Structure 1
């Protein structure tokens, strides 16, 4: 459905923005069996995976999940942030030196600095917008591939970055989580996938299988990397789960969303869906049930191993070469052409017949006349032909020879 256009000025021209709406599948608050859980991170921006709710109430994880890493973009974003802070501090110093003076020597430099600040802010805005669209598109594509009907997203508005240090607090405040969530809702609505926010309490702290508080340590494959990315369940006898803490977090988010989907509410003002509270009775059911590990077929040796042949690799052509033809046609080569001759003879001209070949080179016989046997030295149509290439005459140029005629091979 087309709507009335909106007129605006852009570069001295009047432009009309014509908006339209189209029908999309309706999203549902409840009744979901396959869900995609999404967890936020610092270095790993997004960690997502799929969980399934079975008829008996058990929740199982499908696959090992995936991660959306944007370390390069985030590093670029932090550099621009530091540059912006430096330029703002310098501009404030210029402003204090200028004061109320109308004609100051630093006024021109201050204007140049303000223009540079505006350009850096535009670059940061464009980078954040591109990152938000890329992360949202990746998340929705993961849900479409897994045939999930809902995306459970961790709601971080209620979290406060306290006691984590100045650097971590600044990085948390500079991320584009709000833009990613908005873009995610927009892209998911086009395919009929609901986006529901869940409370983030203890999603990275408790075990996804038994809800036991986890112990965090360095990853075994990266012992020198800073941080505590690896989580281990202390209940070795009953559970014994261990893995990346981000993977455990998305499993907790997906299980919590599937168990609390009856508590999903819709905001009347914005239309956003959310699970606002965690019920203890339902939380005990929000656990991931381990599935049987599927492995390859049993390769145990039950008999003697078949001996491999020691014969060399068969030749390209197993049939022997044909004997010399009784006619003037050339002999079909066996295998590849000889590599002794590097360059082909130069073509006489380009306007030749389809069956034209090189001029036969007679071979002198000791004590006798030259041999009339044809020895092709290369096609005269160009240097790209095979040394022993022959063109089969078309039906309109020459009648088909009889079966018993001694014409040799024309292949």
Structure 2
């Protein structure tokens, strides 16, 4: 029963990914219909991400009162209604109104399901959970491009995704009693999930008296989360506009290329789930960042258009292991005593990166050209890599000091 129920959770994460990639793909056509400047997509994205931040911060209290099952059901229903509202929106103001419940619903589902899987299932399921987010994020552009090509209507694309969400609402409704039943029957040995590394905070006095943000490396880790989500979101939001306006691709073709970027994330996380059984999180994080940087170089260099496709796929593959591995590495880096608090800070910074970094590019593009897109992607990846490597240096130094004092 637990395995079958896990499939339902994966399906819910697919639904979480479906809308995430649609705005960026549809915006070149939506922009023309509404007669708005290109940077308006950045503002809409900020509204959605802002709602995600708010609901994520409140999710702990809400889930304690209502339970993960009820919160997931209501949240998916909110996203379904919001997506349907997008399809019927006659003006920009209605898009903004619908963007609010879309963000609120997504944040609650994300926080609730991540916590549920972390509590009731083993660690490798975390990578696979985010892999299924990639399935949804990959399908979104494909579905939208089909409607744009066949019917020249982005609105029908949003209707199709809304219908899928409503079908999931029905499934969640009928399986609602399973949430508590599975939770009671499922027990996870959390110590086993981190048996490959010891907490860096070995001094009991230090553990209980140091505030989370005072621990060395925490602030650098937050920077890594900030720029990770900045890269991931900026690639998805502005990738289609870059390919259309700079590389000269059609809207439909650009949408398909962006879907391959999300496919890279999806396939990468599927593979990562197996690799984590043999390779440490730190190695996977570093390898992913270097791969993403190579992909960014393909976008940055004056190469032919086909190399841009390679760049999109490589960035997707590189980003794949970073986020779930950084989340899973938190107790090993900063100690289990503070891991829950630090995890909350990390998620907040992650959503902040998604909210503010992509619109920065949009605002600058309005005064220059979309040709600066690869420079921003490269800069965000470099900032993430430097922050992460600095954390690793601090961890090695602390481990060395511990061995000397032992």
Q: Same fold (TM over 0.5)?
A: no
TM-score, length of structure 1 as denominator length = 0.25
Higher share in helix? 2
The structure number with the bigger radius of gyration is 1
Larger RCO, structures 1/2 (Cα 8 Å, 6+ apart): 2
